[in-house]
Chains A and B, each alone.
Chain A
Amino acid sequence: MSGQAAPLARGRFQVSRLWADPVNLLMLILLVVLAYLVLWPFVQLVIHSFTWAEGDRRVSRDAVPGAFTWFHWLQATTGPISGKMLYGPLVNTLKTGIAATIIALLAGGVLAWCVVRSDMPGKRWLQPMLTLPYIVPSFAIALAWEAVFRSPKVGGQPGLYESFLGAAPPEWLSYGTVPISITLAMHYFPFAYLLVSGALATIDSQMEEGALIAGAGRLMILRRITFPVVAPAFAAAFILTFGKTIGQFALPFLLGAPTQFHTVATMVYANLALGLDSMAFVLAIILIAMSLVSIWMANRFVGKKSRRFETISGKGFRNRVIPLGAWKWPVFAGVALFAFTVGVLPLILLGVQSVMLIDGFYGLENLTWHFWTGTSNPDIAFGEPGVLHNSLILGAAWNTIRLAFISAVIASVVGLVIAYIVVRRDNNPLARALDQLAFIPFLFPTIAFGAMYLTLFAEPVGPIPALYGTFTLLVLISVVSRLPYSVKTGMTAVTQIGRELEEAAEVAGAGWGMRFRRIVMPLAGPGVLSGMMVSFVGVMRELSLIILLITPSTRVLMTVGFGYAEEGMTQLSNALVLIVAVLTIIGELILWWIGKGRIARLREKQT
């Protein structure tokens, strides 16, 4: 066997290993790029909030576009319109946010208990149904609410409520705090549900059994054992859910704007629409501050370990369930009814509405496929053709798929590379900085993030052209906003690949590129692929992130749908939102199938 010996030392290099290592080079490049895409926009946002804008000439005679000023901050905090600009919306944001979070947490908590800890039947079916409202775009729920409770006092056709009861619903039920809180809660309770069930799943049932043996009653166990154990997770869930609600834009806009009910998020949009950019930026900064505070507080409750992220998923647990006895079926019926009402009914309502010729009149003669398949008819909807004939919508659909696909692929690959660097170079402070940097977009409410990119790419900077209005900008912001998630997915994947697997290849003489391609990528593949699907679905239903950056040539389904809703063309917006909802559900189903089936088997092979 000692026939032909491998040549020794086929090449050598001088020690500047720091530079010779392509990973270090990559790390530096990524650091610079990310700093530019994440930190710099924020700096720009702050600078702009202290600068006179072009549009400010209309609000102040002193305005000198481009010069420094305290004007906007003063206006927002102490000026005569500060109540309308900041304090009113701030109160509304807190009010709706807290109310929605309480409802979401109560509903989510009870449901989580039923699913995780009780022997309620039909869990397999109910579980996915309970997460449905979080999967569909939030403003689908707002539109469904409107379909029922629309009040003609504000204009437009009557809703289901009036058609059936004959009287207009009270305004507080149609617009403002109540509907916004309820619909927000409907959208976010699955989020709270996931957080709480994750916490419940970690409970060792022996703890409870111990108390049972000690003679404690069921309620007492719940109060003295179960609840204290999940309390920190509960507090964290509360704050995280609240943090999510404050960044919501489309939903409060649709259910608030018609009656001049504004939250901070909608105020950012409204100010930008009026050309009062700097004021919008002040509000965006305040929104970011609120988000930072809430995430900081959530971290204090759950500690460092689960610093990141939304779902402490509760998969793979099997702890003892508590028999419901005679309550088994009533509980099942209650949960099923709830799941149907919040998860399926809104979609049905949208579907029904989208086939009504004149909105609000329920009867067979009023049914039409016009809004789906019709061609332009000047008598209906200002001559807008049905969604399947509408070149605008087909273009938007193409843009949507393209945007979601490209962003998901880039975000996953970049996320994997960053994750690789973070995991494998964990003793390098620059790698840790990269980790932190990639996490920052998670802290920005999406509408504020959009506002940042508005300022950053309005004009060319050095070699970077003005990207405003381009498709590239949409890809860029979508990728960056997905990075916190894709890095996390990548880290999970890379951590599972033993270091020695790579070292074995290194000893065999494979360079970094080859190792990444032939060892890391195939092994991280399954995890990264499902992460890619999550991003795909996420980008597809994204609205507030990109609404500020969209121009007619870069429209996507969500923004077109939002546009129709803004203009009162309900059937069309319903049809569109329904399309997006169905697409995202299909995406989730594929994801579920990947997770359960093929990829899981592949994973098995690898361990």
Chain B
Amino acid sequence: MAKITVRNLTKRYGDMVALDDVSLEIDSGEFLVLLGPSGCGKTTLLRCLAGLETPDEGEIRIGDDIVFSSERKIEVAPGKRGLGMVFQSYALWPHMTVRDNLKFGLDVLKIAKKPSDERLDRVLEDVGLGALGARYPSELSGGQQQRVALARLLATQPQVFLMDEPLSNLDARLRMDMRVELKRFQAETGATTVYVTHDQTEAMTMSTRVVVMKDGRILQISPPQQLYRQPESTFVADFIGMPRINLIELAADKGRATSYSNTDISIDLGWDPGLERVIVGARPEDINLSEDRAAPGEDYEVGAVLPNGPETIVQLSRGVTSVLARVGHDTSLLPGQMVRLSYRSEAINVYDARTRSLVTSPVAEVAAAS
């Protein structure tokens, strides 16, 4: 099948560097999600893969073929890369019926009428559009249009799917349904998929690995669970997760190697990162709250209590240090109340305050090795 290799890809628009020396390997059949703040170069990378943009430097291989190489001066046309693409706007041709939209790609491949018709019937049936083949795109709902875009991609049976925020125009409920379907088709076809999204839930639920980008560079490539648990930099830590992670800058306590504190609070990491200043990253769910004044930890004042369906977000503060914690929906905490707060030291990440990158604890290293 089709493995994708990107090497040292750079793309500039005038002075602006949209992709900065990006390297990436995508395994065959993988579902890779590109995630990152607006303008970080996700779409640009996807379009470079598709061949819709010409990179300035670097190399792209799809399967065994070099489809782009600046050194060897190779550039394969988009249509000859064996890929299919779903655009954010769907880009359905408004003057063609649903069926003709699908048929276009088959015409280009010069597939004979009979097999072409059969395939169209099957694909339309598959995506649940069997009855709508004769409609024009403008006569379909947003969700149906999305399905047509998907069907158009499936019709040519590409080995690589490229999708740029394909679900962003749908309402929340429909988006959930389509996620499941997209995933199903991807699994059935085994196509290597590169998927751009803004939506973290989408990234987390669908991907085999997530690529986090910023300013045209790749910050981290990890499976979703690891991305959430071990963000490699404070930027990624902050970017991933809702509500956002608590990042607290602390200085080493004199005399006690594993203890760090600021003017308000003090945390015992349980291991010694050997740094003067660190930033501690604690997810809201990695904070224990207790009304029992004898429990371990320090006293915080409850600022705001924000119920949110199955959970409740609590904002707490001690001096000027403020943190968010996630507790159950049945909490009885009230604003103004004092609670005992402790950090689950095995779950919190420690970052070098200077480089803002993750400092791995010996425990985690041992765990990773085994």
Interface residues as binary, A1-33 with B (CB distance below 8 Å gives 1, 0 otherwise):
111111111111111010000000000000000
Contact B104 A510 (CB under 8 A): yes
Q: Are A13 and B75 in contact (CB under 8 A)?
A: yes
Q: Which of B101-128 contact A (CB under 8 A)?
A: 104-105, 108-109, 126
Q: How many A-B residue pairs have CB under 8 A?
A: 132
B40 at the interface (CB under 8 A from A): no
- Give the chain A neighbours of B63 by CB distance below 8 A: 8-9
CB distance from B273 to the nearest CB of A (A): 48
Shortest Cβ distance from residue B181 to the other chain A in the assembled complex, whole angstroms = 14
* B94 & A9 in contact (Cβ 8 Å cutoff): no
Give the residues from 137 to 183 in chain B that come closer than 8 angstroms, CB to CB, to chain A: 138, 152, 154, 156-159, 162
B77 touches A13 (CB 8 A): yes
Alpha-carbon distance between A34 and B189 when the two chains are bound, in angstroms: 51
Given A4-B157, A505-B104: A12 in contact with B76 (beta carbons within 8 A): yes
Q: Does A523 contact B (CB under 8 A)?
A: yes
Query: B80–A10 contact, CB under 8 A?
Result: yes
Which residues of chain B come closer than 8 Å to A2, judged between CB atoms? 157, 188-191
CB contact under 8 A between A607 and B65, given known A1-B154, A5-B157, A14-B73: no
Q: List A contacts of B76 (CB < 8 A).
A: 9, 11-13
Residues from chain B with Cβ under 8 Å of A10 in the complex? 80
A507 to B126, CA, bound (A): 22
If A498-B89, A501-B91 touch, whether A9 touches B78 (CB-CB below 8 Å) is no
Q: Which residues of A lie under 8 Å from residue B105 when comparing CB positions?
A: 508-509
B51 contact set on A, CB distance < 8 A: 506-507
Interface centre among B54, B67, B75, B189 (most CB of A within 10 A): B75
Does A522 reach chain B (CB closer than 8 Å)? yes
Of A3, A4, A7, A12, most buried by chain B (CB within 10 Å of CB) is A12
Q: Is the interface on chain A under 10, 10 to 19, 20 to 34, or 35 or more residues? A: 35 or more
The answer to whether B52 has its CB under 8 Å from any CB of chain A is yes
Residues of chain A lying within 8 A (CB to CB) of residue B138: 604-607
A508 to chain B, nearest CB (A): 4
Report the 9 A-B pairs with minimum CB-CB distance, sorted nearest first: A509-B79, A500-B91, A508-B105, A606-B94, A9-B65, A8-B82, A504-B91, A15-B73, A509-B108
Interface pair B104/A508, CB less than 8 Å apart: yes
B62 in the interface, Cβ–Cβ < 8 Å? yes
Contact between chains at A12 and B80 (CB < 8 Å)? yes
18 A-B pairs within 8 Å (CB atoms) are namely A1-B188, A4-B157, A6-B82, A8-B64, A8-B81, A10-B80, A12-B76, A14-B75, A504-B91, A505-B104, A506-B79, A507-B79, A507-B84, A508-B79, A509-B109, A510-B104, A523-B95, A606-B94
CB–CB B136/A605 < 8 A: yes
Question: Does A519 have its Cβ within 8 Å of any Cβ on chain B?
Answer: yes
B87 CB-CB contact with A under 8 Å: yes
| Per-position binary interface string of chain A over residues 61-100, scored 1 when its CB falls under 8 Å from any chain B CB and 0 otherwise | 0000000000000000000000000000000000000000
Point out the residues of chain B lying under 8 angstroms from A9, CB to CB.
62-63, 65, 67, 76, 80-82
Which chain A residues border B154 with CB–CB below 8 Å?
1
* B93 beta carbon closer than 8 Å to chain A: yes
Query: Which B residues touch A506, using CB under 8 A?
Result: 51-52, 77-79
Using A14-B74, A507-B78, A518-B104 as known contacts, say yes or no to A501 and B93 having CB atoms under 8 A apart.
yes
CB-CB < 8 A to B269: which residues of A?
none
Asked if A503 is at the interface (CB within 8 A of a chain B CB), the reply is yes
- From B54, B81, B83, B87, A500 is in contact (CB under 8 Å) with B87
Chain B interface residues toward A at CB < 8 A: 2, 50-52, 54, 62-65, 67, 73-85, 87-89, 91-95, 104-105, 108-109, 126, 136, 138, 152, 154, 156-159, 162, 185, 188-191
| A1→B81 contact, CB < 8 A | no
> Is A333 positioned at the interface, with any CB of B under 8 Å from its CB?
no
With both beta carbons as reference points, the residue of chain B lying nearest to A500 in the complex is identified as B91
Nearest chain A residue, comparing its CB with the CB of B67: A9
Q: Is A394 an interface residue (CB 8 A)?
A: no
A514 contacts chain B at the CB level, 8 A cutoff: yes
A15 surroundings in chain B (CB, below 8 A) = 73-75
| Chain A, residue nearest B94 (CB) | A606
B91–A498 touching, CB < 8 Å: yes
Q: Report Cα–Cα, A507/B158, bound state, in Å.
A: 11
B-side contacts of A5, CB under 8 Å: 82, 157, 159
> A505–B79 Cα gap in the complex (Å)?
8
Q: A6 touches which one: B87, B91, B104, B109 (CB < 8 A)? A: B109
Q: Given known contacts A5-B157, A501-B94, A507-B85, what 5 new A-B pairs fall within 8 Å (CB)?
A: A1-B189, A8-B63, A11-B76, A506-B77, A508-B79
Cβ of B159: which chain A residues have Cβ within 8 Å of it? 5-6, 8
**Chain B positions within 8 Å of A501 at CB level:** 91-94
- Name the CB-closest residue of B to A509: B79
**A6, B158: Cα distance in complex, Å:** 6
* A505 (CB) vs chain B CBs: closest residue: B104
Q: Which residue of B lies closest to A510 (CB)?
A: B108
Within A155-203, the residues touching B (CB, 8 Å) are none
Name A474-523 residues within 8 Å CB distance of B. Answer: 498, 500-501, 503-511, 514, 518-519, 522-523
Report B164 CB to chain A, min CB distance, Å.
9
Contacts of A14 in B (CB 8 A): 73-75
Distance of A14 Cα from B66 Cα, bound (Å): 12
- Is the beta-carbon distance between A17 and B54 smaller than 8 angstroms? yes
Q: Do residues B157 and A6 form an inter-chain contact, with CB atoms below 8 A? A: yes
Cα A7 to Cα B62 with chains together (Å): 12
Taking the nearest CB of chain A, how far is it from the CB of B76, in angstroms?
Answer: 5
Q: Which of A8, A11, A523 contacts B62 (CB 8 A)?
A: A8
Say whether A507 contacts B93, CB under 8 Å. Answer: no
**What are the residues of chain A within 8 A of B77 when measuring CB–CB?**
11, 13, 506, 509
Structural contact, A507 and B89, CB atoms closer than 8 A:
no
Q: Which residues of A contact B62 (CB under 8 A)?
A: 8-9
Contact of A519 among B50, B64, B93, B185 (CB under 8 A): B93
**Which residues of chain B come closer than 8 Å to A4, judged between CB atoms?**
157
Which residues of chain B come closer than 8 Å to A6, judged between CB atoms?
Answer: 82, 109, 156-159
* Closest Cβ–Cβ distance, residue B55 to chain A (whole Å): 11
CA distance A2 to B154 in the complex (A): 10
List chain B residues, Cβ under 8 A from A1: 126, 154, 157, 185, 188-189
In residues 295-351 of chain A, which contact B (Cβ within 8 Å)? none
In the complex, what residues of A have CB within 8 A of residue B95's CB? 522-523, 605-606
Chain B: minimal CB distance from A14 (Å): 6
Q: Which residues of A contact B136 (CB under 8 A)?
A: 605
Whole-angstrom distance between the alpha carbons of A607 and B94 in the complex? 7
A511→B77 CA distance, assembly (Å): 9
Q: How near does chain B come to A519, taking the closest CB pair, in angstroms?
A: 6
